[in-house]
Structure 1
Amino acid sequence: MQSESLYDAARKWFFLIPPIMCPLQFLIDAPFGRFAPSNDSIFVVDGIKSWIVMELVSPMTFIAVLFRGPWATSTSAMSGPQVILAGLFIIHYLNRAIISPLRTPSRSKAHISVSLSGIIFNLANGALMGTYISSPTASAFLEGAFSRPYFWAGITLWACGFAGNILHDEVLLNIRRNSKAKGKRNENKVGKEHYAIPHGYLYRYISYPNYFCEWSEWFGYALAAAPLPALMPLTETMKTIQPPWLFFWAEVFMMIPRAYKGHQWYHKNFPEYPTERKAVVPFIY
């Protein structure tokens, strides 16, 4: 009973905090990436190492709770859909926490507050997702999932979003690789790393296709993994919304301000930046 109460409280706060934080993030520049601190300080940490530590928290917590949490199970006791969904979560973070940063030639430093905030988010999200996937609620919902078209539609959308995320990240990595090969640093006076206008694929329409693809990825995951939450009233939504939908919900609210401010940054630092591009949703925003 205590575990269930804690789980329900965590779901409620994970639902409430992102929309509260969203407008505040429009007022500040999170100190990492293109907004990285220019000064050296004990609070400014290595970009690649801090990213790995921050992102590894989520899959480690997910696995720990999956097998040691309130509804702990074993792989053999999990249904096929549960195993697939657990695997997809781990695959995403295997790329995000290890493969992608190790393939990055260089990354701007970050303020430690960014890393600590990320650790807190990933700790909560990993715990909620691991608890849900092993829960009786997930087990009941996923019974017979292989015969439901929207389960496979969700898995397909997850795969397309995952592939699109990697594809568009590769465009940015190539900009960094090419600049490093040519010895370019501090170009355009926009920071310690070299930045240029990305082109190709969804960059034709938006400044942050990697964000858009990640939203598509986790929307597809939620569609496959959990029942649709009640939309009204708010109290009912908080009671029924499950962690896969909470993850999608939180990502949208937390990433929209970053996309907007980054989009404005591109226009400020590159006068030739394509005016027809939107920030993060093609043709809309």
Structure 2
Amino acid sequence: MDAWLGMEEADILRYTSFGMIAAGVLAAVLLQWIDAPYGRYQVKASPLWGMAVDNRVAWLLQELPSFAFAAWGWYTADPEAFGAANRVLLGLYLLHYTHRAWVFPLRMRGGKPTPLSVFLLAMVYCLVNGYLQSRFLAAHATFAAGWTESPQFLAGIAMFFAGMYINMDADSILRNLRRGPADKGYYIPRGGMFDFVSGANFFGEIVEWTGYALASGFALPPVAFAVFTALNIGPRALQHHRDYRARFNGSKGKEAYPADRKALIPFLL
């Protein structure tokens, strides 16, 4: 895989990273006017977004390419380039997508189906990003001797696991809000980072991938991933915050939404 379409693979990875950042900017702009049509915002029977796909099947299939690329990258890595830092970072990526592709869908409780177009866009993203991160770490990333003992690497790893914990804890809180499959109501999530922000799960994932980028020494592909993540799901957190405040406005006997809770960044945003 040294060259493809006349370009060296390192160039492909660099251009793909810049493309991902540009796609994130575009997504952030579009999401100011368009509510992503899945979950609570799904438009029923809308031909614009395509047929409905079972949400468990959608999650498994859309996340699977990232898992598969990471596993493939691990077993086909260039021994000379695949040092300790490379193994740790690719291992973290594989850990995340093992959970996302295999554990998270199995723990879902009901939920609305995913529109086909949203499912396909997510799958394409995981294909592109899976290739980008896996090939970069398996064959192209180089780190200074002793990098795994550096304060920046250790701080990044700590951030990654802190963000992963916040994300998984928030998912658990959301999953347990409803009393069973027949319960279609919406409730105010409490506990964990939800005491500070409406988008606790999104905040956790942004922290997770920012830590990954930090541990990589802010190499371009991990940075592109972290930037795209923030630009893509950050607006979703703002959207959730507006929806929660509209649903729980304290009128007609409704419980009021916590006034001091922010949307995405504790105490700030």
Question: TM-score normalised to the size of structure 1?
Answer: 0.83
Tell me the equivalent position of 2:207: 216
Contiguous gaps of at least 5 residues in structure 1: 186-193, 229-240
| Cα distance in 2 between the residues matched to 1:118 and 1:127 | 14
Decide which structure has greater helix share. 1
Tell me which residue corresponds to 1:82.
Answer: 86
Q: Taking every aligned residue pair, what percent have the same amino acid on both sides?
A: 30
Q: Distance in 1 between matches of 2:164 and 2:14?
A: 29
Task: Please say if 1:244 is aligned against 2:222.
Answer: yes
Name stretches of at least 5 consecutive residues in structure 2 with no aligned partner: 250-255
CA distance in 1, matches of 2:21, 2:194: 31
By how many angstroms is 1:23 displaced? 1.3
| Deviation of 1:65 (Å) | 4.6
Q: Residues of 2 paired with 1:219 and 1:246: CA distance? A: 10
Counterpart CA distance in 1 for 2:233 and 2:104 is 19
- Deviations along 1:212-267, whole A, 9 cap, x unmatched? 11111111111112x33xxxxxxxxxxxx511111110011111211111111111
List, as ranges, runs of 4+ consecutive aligned residues in structure 1 with deviation greater than 6 Å.
none
1:169 match: 171
Q: Cα deviations across residues 129-187 of structure 1 (Å, max 9, x unaligned)?
A: 01210234x22x253213212211111111111111111111001113x243xx423xx
> 1:208·1:280 contact (CA, 8 Å) conserved in 2?
yes
> What is the CA-CA distance between 1:40 and the residue it aligns to?
8.2
Q: Which residue of structure 1 aligns with residue 253 of structure 2?
A: none
SS at match of 1:21: helix
Match of 1:52 among 39, 48, 60: 60
CA distance in 2, matches of 1:78, 1:213: 28
Instruction: Determine whether 1:184 maps to 2:177.
Output: no
* TM-score for both structures, normalised by structure 2: 0.88
Deviation at 1:8? 2.4
- Aligned positions, number: 255
Does 2:69 match 1:61?
Answer: yes
RMSD: 2.0
On the 8 A contact 1:219/1:245 being kept in 2, the answer is yes
Aligned 8 A contact 1:56 1:97 in 2: yes
> Measured at CA, do residues 111 and 63 of structure 1 come closer, stay the same or move farther in structure 2, by a change above 3 Å?
same
Conserved? CA contact 1:37–1:44, under 8 Å:
no
Q: C-alpha offsets along residues 40-87 of structure 1, whole Å, 9 cap, x if unaligned?
A: 87611111111111111212123335555xxx425x973222211111
Corresponding residue number in structure 1 for 2:128: 124
C-alpha distance 78-65 of structure 1, shift in aligned 2 (>3 A):
closer
Aligned partner letter, 2:198:
S
Q: Aligned to 2:104, what secondary structure does the other structure show?
A: helix
